[in-house]
DNA sequence: CAGCATCCATAAGGATACTG
DNA sequence: CAGTATCCTTATGGATGCTG
């Protein structure tokens, strides 16, 4: 099953925003889709080293429900499904930019380990 | 025990930033401390309706470890402890502002329920 | 290819009682 | 006042196998 419909009320805007980006891969999914415009399931999977099929599917479904991601299914054999960001997804991604910059600073400051992405860098 | 020292490497800045604000009350703790400058344990508790002592203590300790919060203990009877933000805490809070604004928009858009804060509003 | 179903391990959060 | 300690429930994420 997916995420339960969030029981209590939100306390503030941060709370409401964090609710839709919390999840191990959601920030990265947002980044991938924003960078490439459109991605198929398998492409997305390759872009997120270590993600399981289950988690990728689950996160994509939740983000679809939250109005961040658009899912386009083509009735072909073999099946093809393309994911892209909605306008809300794009604005969220822009709102996340300063946070990402802060995070990069934190990594640099504390000398955390990072992964080497095949594509140049998300940093 | 508190949070484990985070096993894997960070994938991107968002990832590294989310790691320190994930936790049911952390965004709000940041907000409270930024708004008031200095808060005692009990004041903080009143500002976070519904938080348990355990979670508040735990979150504060993690945020201290992450260099976001400063904890000042006064050797008095009865004991007094004051919490405030470090410079890193303040910059994080600023980086969170656009996300908070996005969240407020989302609440408005989707008609989510919110709590009525005693103090004017976190929204 | 793009998934769904099932089972399982760990992490996050909460309730309650007690203390320097 | 400002916490600890303990026990318990739920949420999150992962492994594996199967399917239209």
Tell me the per-residue pLDDT of A39-72, one tens digit each, with 9 for 90 and over: 999 999 999 999 999 999 999 999 999 999 999 9
**From CA B8, how far away is CA B11, in angstroms rounded?**
9
Within A9-121, residue ranges assigned H as helices are 13-21, 26-36, 41-47, 53-65, 87-110
Give domain status of residue B118, yes or no: no
**From CA A77, how far away is CA B76, in angstroms rounded?**
74
First-residue to last-residue Cα distance in chain A: 33
Nearest to B29 by CA among B72, B1, B58: B58
Nearest to B63 by CA among B30, B18, B104, B96: B30
Rounded to the nearest 10 degrees, the angle between the axes of helix B53-65 and helix B26-36 is 80
Q: Does A21 touch chain B (CB under 8 A)?
A: yes
Give domain status of residue A113, yes or no: no
Give domain status of residue B39, yes or no: yes
Expressed as residue numbers, the domain containing B65 is 13-108
Give domain status of residue A57, yes or no: yes
Work out the average pLDDT over B1-12. Answer: 73
Q: Does B91 touch chain A (CB under 8 A)?
A: yes
Maximum average pLDDT range among A38-47, B5-14, B110-119: A38-47
- Give contacts of A27 with chain B, Cβ < 8 Å: 12, 14-15, 18
Give domain status of residue B76, yes or no: yes
Cβ(B64)–Cβ(B83) below 8 Å: no
Nearest to A13 among B12, B14, B123 (CB): B123
Nearest to B98 by CA among A6, A97, A24, A108: A97
**B12 and A100 in contact by Cβ < 8 A?**
yes
Give pLDDT tens digits for A1-34: 567 767 668 888 999 999 999 999 999 999 999 9
Q: Domain of A84: which CATH number? A: 1.10.10.10
Report how many domains make up chain A: 1
pTM for this structure?
A: 0.88
Give domain status of residue A55, yes or no: yes
Nearest to B99 among A9, A99, A105 (CB): A99
**A123 and B15 in contact by Cβ < 8 A?**
no
Q: Three-class SS of residue B119?
A: coil
């Amino acid at each position: 099953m997916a995420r339960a419909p969030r029981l209590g009320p939100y306390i503030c805007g941060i709370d409401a925003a964090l609710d839709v980006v919390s999840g191990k891969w959601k920030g990265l999914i947002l980044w991938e889709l924003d960078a490439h415009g459109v991605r198929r399931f398998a492409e997305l999977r390759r872009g997120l080293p270590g993600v399981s099929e289950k988690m990728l599917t689950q996160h994509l479904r939740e983000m679809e429900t939250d109005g961040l991601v658009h899912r386009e299914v083509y009735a072909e054999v073999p099946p093809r499904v393309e994911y892209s960001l909605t306008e809300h997804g794009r604005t969220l991604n822009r709102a996340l930019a300063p946070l990402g910059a802060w995070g990069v600073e934190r990594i640099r400051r504390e000398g955390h380990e990072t992964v080497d992405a095949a594509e140049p860098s998300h940093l």
